């Protein structure tokens, strides 16, 4: 392999891993600068914001990854980016109104100010960051990520001394870096024009949530069922085991623009998809083993009460398994995104979401550690079921496309 290509792949891997590194470092910093209980509270608020962020940010970021590489030129790419960013802002505004309404109704108790500040900052950061990822400008994205990590640590240190909650400290750093990213992107050529609201962003947000975001439910659930201190320790384990999504997502992120280009040119996808499945399969097995070792090490290092070790290690291992099962379907999710099969994705997502919501409700009602373990089992079962349903649906899509691309190749040859 040539050196520039190897460097590019390493940059893609680092780019995918840096948000996970941000989560680990900032959570450890909150626990050190503030307290473990404060970590539980901010992790819960961050988890709720990131769950909503799958619909306000990640779904639109997926469309950015698919559509920007197919743009006619740089100006068209910037215009397409801002159209999608505007839809993300509209979605965030809608979630803001809904969040305030829920808070005022007292149906669900949460820190609405922390949630909203983290939601807007996280959405802006993710949307802007994916502009550079879509153009494979990984080095610039990593530089912004490193600035975010260092800025977050500084913000936490200063805000603790000024009596400002850690959630606002993180939001300040996220918002500042997001603004710098938008400045680097530049302005659209002729203003932002919205012809119609594209619901595919919401549908792909739900797809991504079910493949990699279900684990975010666990920290708020742990706060409710087991207390803030347990949730704080769980957030550390969840951050560490989230390394399980780095390699699969790096492979997917590196290949998604290429898949979009090949599909646009009516070229075969078979070799690319086969290589993705093989690479992700091996990486999942390797990372699962690494995660188990990390769970044991972090538990022994962070938890002084040895009587809690067995429970926390078991929970951590189940988190690692949940990550591995969720990432096993990332290739199928990539195919759905490239072909923009929003209707099929919506049907699968609605069915599996309803099942998970029912199982989650039963687990929360049961309560305690046993109820939380049942919730972990439910998340693994639902992820596996979604993978199976998605694989069955895309089989016909890929086969039909492969036949059409071969016919086009034959015509071109003639």
Phi-psi region of 6 (alpha: psi -120 to 50; beta: other; left: phi over 0): alpha
113 versus 307: the higher-pLDDT residue is 113
| Residue 221 pLDDT | 83
Q: Is the pLDDT of residue 404 over 60?
A: no
Alpha helices in 34-137 (DSSP H): 36-53, 59-67, 74-105, 112-134
Q: Pull the structure tokens for residue 59.
A: 């779904």
Per-residue confidence (pLDDT) for residue 409, from 0 to 100: 45
Long-range Cβ contacts of 84-90 (<8 Å, 24+ apart): 84/60, 84/127, 84/198, 84/201, 85/60, 85/127, 85/128, 86/192, 86/194, 87/60, 87/194, 87/197, 87/198, 87/201, 88/56, 88/57, 88/60, 88/123, 88/127, 88/201, 89/123, 90/197
* Count, residues in the chain: 414
Residue 242 burial by CB count (10 A; 0-12/13-18/19+): exposed, middle or buried? buried
Tell whether the model's pLDDT for residue 410 goes beyond 50: no
Winning range, highest mean pLDDT, from 53-57, 107-111, 212-216, 262-266: 53-57
Q: Please name which of 126, 115, 116 lies closest in space to residue 57, comparing C-alpha atoms.
A: 126
Distances (CA, A) of 67 to 86, 130, 197, 408: 15, 11, 16, 23
Per-residue pLDDT band for 412 (boundaries 50, 70, 90) equals very low
Structural element, H or E, at residue 395: helix 368-413
Q: Is 347 exposed, middle or buried (0-12, 13-18, 19+ CB in 10 A)?
A: middle
Lowest-confidence range among 95-104, 243-252, 269-278?
243-252
Mean pLDDT, the chain, whole residue set: 82
Q: Is the dihedral of CA 48, 49, 50, 53 positive or negative?
A: positive
pLDDT tens readout for residues 20-62: 789 889 988 998 899 877 888 888 888 889 889 989 998 899 8
- Alpha-carbon 233 to chain mean position: 21
pLDDT digits (tens, 9 = 90+) for 168-216: 999 999 999 999 999 999 888 766 666 678 888 887 787 677 655 666 7
Q: Tokens at residue 34, please?
A: 């503030």
Domain range annotation of the chain: 1-191, 218-414
Res 405 pLDDT > 70? no
pLDDT in tens, 281-306: 888 888 888 888 888 888 887 777 77
Inform me whether the pLDDT recorded for 130 exceeds 90.
yes
Taking residues 5-32, what's their average pLDDT?
A: 81
Highest-pLDDT range among 174-178, 320-324, 344-348, 367-371: 174-178
Question: Given this model, what pLDDT does residue 100 score?
Answer: 92
**How far apart (Å, rounded) are the C-alpha atoms in residues 90 and 94?**
6
Q: Are the C-beta atoms of 142 and 16 separated by less than 8 Å? A: no
If phi over 0 gives left and psi between -120 and 50 gives alpha, with beta otherwise, what is residue 197? beta
Measured in whole angstroms, how far is the alpha carbon of residue 258 from the centre of its chain?
20
């Amino acid at each position: 392999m040539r050196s520039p290509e190897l460097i590019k792949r390493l940059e893609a891997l680092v780019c995918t891993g840096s948000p996970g590194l941000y989560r680990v470092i900032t959570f450890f910093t909150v626990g050190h600068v503030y307290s473990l209980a404060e970590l539980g509270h901010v992790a819960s608020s961050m988890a709720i914001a990131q769950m909503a962020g799958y619909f306000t940010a990640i779904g639109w970021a997926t469309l950015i990854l698919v559509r920007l590489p197919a743009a006619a030129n740089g100006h068209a790419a910037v215009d397409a980016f801002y159209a999608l960013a505007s839809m993300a802002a509209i979605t965030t505004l809608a979630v803001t109104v809904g969040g305030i309404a829920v808070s005022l109704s007292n149906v669900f108790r949460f820190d609405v100010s922390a949630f909203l500040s983290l939601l807007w900052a996280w959405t802006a950061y993710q949307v802007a960051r994916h502009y550079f990822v879509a153009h494979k400008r990984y080095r610039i994205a990593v530089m912004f990520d490193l600035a975010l990590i260092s800025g977050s640590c500084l913000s936490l240190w200063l805000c603790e001394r000024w009596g400002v909650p850690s959630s606002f400290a993180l939001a300040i750093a996220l918002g500042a870096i997001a603004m710098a990213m938008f400045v680097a992107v530049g302005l659209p050529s002729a203003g932002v024009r919205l012809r119609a609201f594209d619901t595919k962003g919401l549908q792909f947000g739900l797809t991504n949530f079910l493949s990699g975001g279900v684990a975010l439910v666990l920290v708020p659930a742990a706060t409710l069922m087991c207390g803030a201190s347990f949730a704080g320790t769980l957030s550390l384990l969840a951050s560490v085991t989230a390394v399980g999504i780095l390699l699969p997502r790096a492979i997917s992120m590196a290949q998604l623009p290429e898949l979009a280009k090949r599909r646009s040119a009516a070229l075969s996808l078979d070799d690319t998809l086969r290589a993705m499945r093989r690479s992700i399969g091996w990486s999942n097995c390797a990372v699962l083993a690494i995660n188990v070792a990390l769970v044991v090490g972090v538990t022994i290092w962070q938890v002084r009460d040895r009587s809690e070790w067995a429970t926390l290690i078991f929970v951590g291992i189940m988190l690692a398994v949940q990550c591995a099962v969720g990432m096993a379907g990332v290739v199928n999710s990539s195919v759905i995104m490239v072909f923009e099969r929003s209707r099929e994705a919506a049907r699968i997502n609605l069915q599996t979401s309803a099942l998970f919501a029912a199982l989650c409700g039963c687990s929360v009602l049961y309560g305690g550690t046993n109820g939380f373990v049942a919730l972990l089992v439910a998340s693994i079962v639902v992820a596996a079921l979604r993978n199976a349903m998605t694989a069955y649906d895309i089989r016909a899509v890929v086969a039909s496309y492969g036949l059409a691309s071969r016919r086009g190749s034959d015509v071109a040859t003639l």
